[in-house]
Chain A
């Protein structure tokens, strides 16, 4: 089945440790994203990548790093520099935008099941 797989589902980390969250997709999507969700808040963008070997910072990139060596994979590392890492992390991917009859183009993002990271 096609989809986006995140692992692990739950992750516990001691303060001062780096951890890496996995995200793999077999949808042949070009773009991939990492979002963070905190209680009572919407999703906030950490990093995104529109093509292999290229990625850009989102709104809250500090304390995080990513790589995009393969089209299918976009791992996120939460470093010890991230001051408040406990959160729910969602990975997403999107296909190439499609053009609409009235002009313009857009696409939707498809999400994985998420990883809940807790710092202990």
Chain B
């Protein structure tokens, strides 16, 4: 059975701090790993990672994949209160390249002013 595990489950920081969110996975026929941000309702797409060691960046967010260790991290530097959200990690599962995703439990990030 495919599995995605995130840690920590929750994190409380102050504005300006840097945070690292973790995601480990066990997925047959691995194709990609995705990160989403969920603020109130719809998860919004952040990154898709397919190759080991290649960092993807978007502003203060960055992510990298380690296919040998079956691991990915999401970094957020200089956090702001607007970064408060649930961050979800997911991987396509079941041997399909479509978006049939297995999700982790999510990390609840709270950024205090």
Give the B-binding residues of A (Cβ under 8 A).
4, 31, 33, 35, 40-45, 48, 50, 58, 90, 92-94, 97, 100, 102, 104-114
Contacts and interface: CB of A to CB of B under 8 A. Distances in A.
B12 interface: no
Nearest to B105: A42
A106 B97 contact: yes
Interface string B32-59: 1010000001111100101100000000
- Majority secondary structure, A binding face: strand
A110 B45 contact: yes
Give the 10 A-B CB pairs with smallest separation, nearest first: A94-B99, A42-B103, A109-B99, A106-B32, A97-B97, A111-B42, A106-B31, A43-B103, A113-B41, A105-B97
Interface string B80-113: 0000000010101000111111111110000000
B98 A43 contact: no
B4 interface: yes
Contacts of A111: 42-44
Contacts, number: 79
A37 to B, nearest CB: 9
A49 B75 CA distance: 33
Given A108-B45, A113-B41, A113-B42, A42 B4 contact: yes
Contacts of B101: 33, 43, 45, 109
B99 A33 contact: yes
B105 A107 contact: no
A104 B48 CA distance: 13
B42 A90 contact: yes
12 contacts: A42-B6, A43-B88, A45-B101, A102-B51, A104-B31, A104-B32, A106-B32, A109-B45, A109-B101, A111-B43, A113-B42, A114-B42
